[in-house]
Amino acid sequence: MKTVFAKLLLISLCVVGSGFSQETGQSYIEFEKARFLKTSENNNAKYLGDSSFDVGYYKLDLNISYSPQSLSGIVTVSARSLGDILTSVFLDLSDALSVDSVLSNNLSCQYSHSENKLIISLDKPYSPDEIFTLTIFYHGVPVTTGLRSFVFDSHNEQPSIWTLSEPYGASDWWPCKDTPEDKVDSSDVWITVPDNLIAVSNGTLTDEIDNGNGTKTYKWKNSYPIANYLISLAISNYSVYKNYFRYSNNDSMLVIHYIYPEDLDELKPQLDKTTEMLELFSDLFSEYPFIKEKYGHAQFGSGGMEHQTITSIGIFTDGVIAHELTHQWFGDKITCRNWENIWLNEGFATYGEGLYYEFSEDKSAYNSFLSYHINRSKAAVGSIYVEDVSSISEIFNGNRSYSKGAIVLHMLRGIVGDSVFFNILKNYLNDPFLAYRTATTEDFERVAEETSGLQLNYFFNQWIYGKNYPKYNLEWDFQQAADNMYDVNINIEQSVNTYPQFFTMPVKIKISTSVGDTILSLFNDAQNQKSSFRISGKPTQLTFDPNNFILKDLIISDPAVLLPQLNLEQNYPNPFNNSTVIGYTLPQEDFVTLKVYNSLGQQIATLFNENGRAGEYKINFDGSSFSSGIYFYRLAFGKRIITKKMLLLK
Ligand SMILES: [Zn+2]
């Protein structure tokens, strides 16, 4: 048995190398989107689209051929004028595609197409709030950019055609206002493909038409608000696997999976978990946002992408399935208003994975999840708020947007407590200004403050816009104040950070005493802060942030009175017949010898002769080969020597 004390107790929140690789956070960060980043460093500058009009509806009527690869389309855009007198507008559309004609309110109109902008002269001047419709006829072979916006792919020698538009790639394959800020109220996607393929998109399949010419047309209708980057297509020779999510006694929703035929049998057990996750997240967050339509998966290249009502997915781990499903609430129902605030999508979806582990598996999976993301959060460089949205790898930075974003939610939960935390999530999702719309950090902060009654500006300011994390150096001691009352003095010092200079956080401190534990609360809002508390019972240990809510490094210096002293115990039993136990305590690490001598001073045994670490030790002395009499045992530790006497009686 060995107990180890140390003068400086270095507590690190995280378990380094905990091996959190069980189909977890690691999997989706490596594979969700970041996997595609190799192709992505070409990207658009910060760009918000034409702000002179508000789009209300998109219809994509696409005809897609795999061999030869081609796309032709008719895209209809309904919009409302925001300008004074609007005479021309622009849409975003890749120069790789050719525009054949443009109609403005069904009248042929002038347009020009260059530098990935389609500038359209409207059929007449439009006053504020007037509605107009644009129809764009175009064709070409899309050139993929970013996270691979449009891909003619294959599996098992079969076609697989898919899209992943986030963040700037929708305009690689259809004309649109390429910004998450302008969500439309509804959308239609009609896809004509060779009749051996199935074409999948958002919302409900309203019609499947055999055109009698070797092609089929799939008509998908989405009746909910949607951001342009969440409009998707996925086309292959899919096998279809259906489940149902029963969300009340009388109602159920279709859960449908479009899977490559060769993979379906193997994937069914994983796919079946989707309905149980829908139940959990509906409880924790509020009703699934697209309950009148469906949820589903369409298999594609790799990773995952939370297309509205139909996640594109290539890795079917618990983590990725939970992550993309969480996005239906956080990302799809409420969309980050701009890419600077991507943590409102990715931090929340990452935390959703953790919630699945917490509520469905044993606590250790959740703790591993936290350790993994705490490690990554500590490695994060820069603020969670994305300063350079021209770089896709900055937007989808795993350490910041995903891991640290999730840990910020974990910390918020620590501050407000479980029930308030989940009320914040529900109130956010159902806020009339945010539900089915877009949000920024300030919107989430407002809801968190309204729900908790707490002022939380310091929290979001330092964790979302600030960098790094607090590094605490804590010293404490205590004095007896009365009978069994003690004054505990705590000094918390933070290393100086760039911004914020130090972190303001409410902290809990547990003092273990001879009569039980006392939890102290203090609001740490200074670089160097001293506090005193009177408690009952003699303190034996201090634990800072006992539930590990704060992302931090921590060094605690315990009071000298609690540190172990060098000690050599009397052997037991004594006198002894043949065998006895000798105990000793080392206050710190040093070279140690423990030797036994006879009454003539001759050394007869060496029990320990090497470096010893701080702690308590018990060691056995076997005297069976020696005769009865007095013996001495001697502990040498550094320059200090302690000797004791023992009696062997046979
Ligand atoms: Zn995600």
Q: How confident is the model at residue 21 (pLDDT cuts 50, 70, 90)?
A: very low
Instruction: Kindly give the distance from the C-alpha atom of residue 494 to the centroid of ligand 1, in angstroms, as a whole number.
Output: 33
Beta strands in 66-203 (DSSP E): 70-81, 86-92, 97-104, 107-108, 111-114, 117-126, 131-140, 150-155, 158-163, 186-194, 198-200
* Start-to-end Cα distance in the chain: 28
Q: Do domains 469-562 and 567-648 have the same CATH topology?
A: yes
Contacts of 206 (CB under 8 A, 6+ apart): 219, 220, 221
* Angle at alpha carbon of residue 185, lines to 184 and 188, rounded to 5°: 80
Instruction: Kindly give the distance from the C-alpha atom of residue 195 to the centroid of ligand 1, in angstroms, as a whole number.
Output: 32
Q: Which two tokens stand for residue 576?
A: 């002894």
Instruction: Kindly give the distance from the C-alpha atom of residue 303 to the centroid of ligand 1, in angstroms, as a whole number.
Output: 10
Question: By mean pLDDT, which of 134-138, 438-442, 610-614 is the weakest?
Answer: 610-614
Rounded CA-CA distance 410/25 in Å is: 15
**H-state helical runs in 302-381:** 318-329, 343-360, 363-379
Instruction: Kindly give the distance from the C-alpha atom of residue 638 to the centroid of ligand 1, in angstroms, as a whole number.
Output: 57
Closest among 94, 98, 119 to 109, alpha carbons compared: 119
Task: Please say whether the structural domain 469-562 has been given the CATH code 2.40.30.170.
Answer: no
Instruction: Kindly give the distance from the C-alpha atom of residue 211 to the centroid of ligand 1, in angstroms, as a whole number.
Output: 37
Instruction: Kindly give the distance from the C-alpha atom of residue 574 to the centroid of ligand 1, in angstroms, as a whole number.
Output: 68
Instruction: Kindly give the distance from the C-alpha atom of residue 353 to the centroid of ligand 1, in angstroms, as a whole number.
Output: 10
**H-state helical runs in 380-461:** 392-395, 405-416, 418-429, 441-452, 457-460
> What are the phi and psi torsion angles at 319 (to 5°)?
-60, -50
Instruction: Kindly give the distance from the C-alpha atom of residue 304 to the centroid of ligand 1, in angstroms, as a whole number.
Output: 7
User: Is 507's pLDDT higher than 70?
Assistant: yes
Instruction: Kindly give the distance from the C-alpha atom of residue 312 to the centroid of ligand 1, in angstroms, as a whole number.
Output: 11
Instruction: Kindly give the distance from the C-alpha atom of residue 165 to the centroid of ligand 1, in angstroms, as a whole number.
Output: 13
Domain boundaries, the chain: 37-235, 469-562, 567-648
Predicted TM-score (pTM) of this structure: 0.85
Mean pLDDT of 334-342: 97
Instruction: Kindly give the distance from the C-alpha atom of residue 36 to the centroid of ligand 1, in angstroms, as a whole number.
Output: 13
Condensed to tens digits (0 to 9), the pLDDT of residues 228-285 reads: 999 999 999 999 999 999 999 999 999 999 999 999 999 999 999 999 999 999 999 9
Q: Which two tokens stand for residue 307?
A: 């297309």
Instruction: Kindly give the distance from the C-alpha atom of residue 24 to the centroid of ligand 1, in angstroms, as a whole number.
Output: 13
Tell me if 306 sits within 8 A of 281, measured CB to CB. Answer: no
Instruction: Kindly give the distance from the C-alpha atom of residue 89 to the centroid of ligand 1, in angstroms, as a whole number.
Output: 32
Tell me if 297 sits within 8 A of 273, measured CB to CB. Answer: no
Q: At what angle do helices 418-429 and 405-416 cross, to 10 degrees?
A: 120
Instruction: Kindly give the distance from the C-alpha atom of residue 323 to the centroid of ligand 1, in angstroms, as a whole number.
Output: 6
Task: Please say whether the structural domain 37-235 has been given the CATH code 2.30.130.10.
Answer: no
* Lookup result for tokens 């890749």: 94
CA distances in angstroms from 427 to 63, 343, 454, 466, 495, listed in the order given:
42, 18, 15, 26, 36
Instruction: Kindly give the distance from the C-alpha atom of residue 347 to the centroid of ligand 1, in angstroms, as a whole number.
Output: 8
Instruction: Kindly give the distance from the C-alpha atom of residue 356 to the centroid of ligand 1, in angstroms, as a whole number.
Output: 15
Amino acid, single-letter form, for residue 294: K
* Angle at alpha carbon of residue 70, lines to 65 and 73, rounded to 5°: 95
Instruction: Kindly give the distance from the C-alpha atom of residue 33 to the centroid of ligand 1, in angstroms, as a whole number.
Output: 7
33, with CB counted inside 10 A (0-12, 13-18, 19+), is buried
Mean pLDDT of 196-204: 98
Contacts of 384 (CB under 8 A, 6+ apart): 343, 347, 400, 401, 404, 405, 408, 463, 464, 465
Instruction: Kindly give the distance from the C-alpha atom of residue 308 to the centroid of ligand 1, in angstroms, as a whole number.
Output: 12
> What are the phi and psi torsion angles at 454 (to 5°)?
-105, 150
Contacts of 104 (CB under 8 A, 6+ apart): 120, 121, 122, 123, 132, 133, 134
User: Is 7's pLDDT higher than 70?
Assistant: no
Mean pLDDT of 563-580: 90
CA distances in angstroms from 17 to 14, 157, 368, listed in the order given:
9, 40, 10
Mean pLDDT of 192-221: 98
Condensed to tens digits (0 to 9), the pLDDT of residues 25-37 reads: 444 444 466 444 4
Condensed to tens digits (0 to 9), the pLDDT of residues 420-471 reads: 999 999 999 999 999 999 999 999 999 999 999 999 999 999 999 999 999 9
Instruction: Kindly give the distance from the C-alpha atom of residue 320 to the centroid of ligand 1, in angstroms, as a whole number.
Output: 8
Rounded CA-CA distance 431/330 in Å is: 13
Rounded CA-CA distance 95/110 in Å is: 17
Q: How confident is the model at residue 318 (pLDDT cuts 50, 70, 90)?
A: very high
Dihedral over Cα of 253, 259, 261, 263: its sign: negative
Rounded CA-CA distance 84/74 in Å is: 29
> What are the phi and psi torsion angles at 316 (to 5°)?
-105, 45
Compute how many other C-beta atoms are within 10 angstroms of the C-beta atom of residue 198: 20
Q: Which two tokens stand for residue 646?
A: 């023992």
Instruction: Kindly give the distance from the C-alpha atom of residue 459 to the centroid of ligand 1, in angstroms, as a whole number.
Output: 23
User: Is 13's pLDDT higher than 90?
Assistant: no
Compute how many other C-beta atoms are within 10 angstroms of the C-beta atom of residue 84: 10
Instruction: Kindly give the distance from the C-alpha atom of residue 167 to the centroid of ligand 1, in angstroms, as a whole number.
Output: 12
Rounded CA-CA distance 108/104 in Å is: 6
Instruction: Kindly give the distance from the C-alpha atom of residue 342 to the centroid of ligand 1, in angstroms, as a whole number.
Output: 9
User: Is 44's pLDDT higher than 70?
Assistant: no
3-state DSSP percent of the chain in helix, strand and coil, to 5: 25, 40, 35
Instruction: Kindly give the distance from the C-alpha atom of residue 232 to the centroid of ligand 1, in angstroms, as a whole number.
Output: 15
User: Is 15's pLDDT higher than 90?
Assistant: no
Compute how many other C-beta atoms are within 10 angstroms of the C-beta atom of residue 129: 9
CATH superfamily, with its number, for domain 567-648: Macroglobulin (MG2) domain (2.60.40.1930)
499, with CB counted inside 10 A (0-12, 13-18, 19+), is exposed
pLDDT score at 19: 31
For the chain, give the mean pLDDT: 91
Closest among 581, 569, 508, 578 to 543, alpha carbons compared: 508
Rounded CA-CA distance 260/240 in Å is: 9
pLDDT score at 47: 60
Instruction: Kindly give the distance from the C-alpha atom of residue 405 to the centroid of ligand 1, in angstroms, as a whole number.
Output: 11
List, in sequence order, every residue forming a beta bridge with 583; answer none if it has no partner: 618
80, with CB counted inside 10 A (0-12, 13-18, 19+), is middle
pLDDT score at 562: 80
Instruction: Kindly give the distance from the C-alpha atom of residue 324 to the centroid of ligand 1, in angstroms, as a whole number.
Output: 6
Closest among 234, 439, 255 to 333, alpha carbons compared: 439
Tell me if 91 sits within 8 A of 179, measured CB to CB. Answer: no
Instruction: Kindly give the distance from the C-alpha atom of residue 327 to the centroid of ligand 1, in angstroms, as a whole number.
Output: 7
Instruction: Kindly give the distance from the C-alpha atom of residue 230 to the centroid of ligand 1, in angstroms, as a whole number.
Output: 12
Dihedral over Cα of 255, 259, 265, 266: its sign: negative
Instruction: Kindly give the distance from the C-alpha atom of residue 305 to the centroid of ligand 1, in angstroms, as a whole number.
Output: 7
Instruction: Kindly give the distance from the C-alpha atom of residue 584 to the centroid of ligand 1, in angstroms, as a whole number.
Output: 55
* Lookup result for tokens 């530098």: 115
Instruction: Kindly give the distance from the C-alpha atom of residue 346 to the centroid of ligand 1, in angstroms, as a whole number.
Output: 5
Instruction: Kindly give the distance from the C-alpha atom of residue 365 to the centroid of ligand 1, in angstroms, as a whole number.
Output: 20
Instruction: Kindly give the distance from the C-alpha atom of residue 392 to the centroid of ligand 1, in angstroms, as a whole number.
Output: 14
Instruction: Kindly give the distance from the C-alpha atom of residue 32 to the centroid of ligand 1, in angstroms, as a whole number.
Output: 7
User: Is 161's pLDDT higher than 50?
Assistant: yes
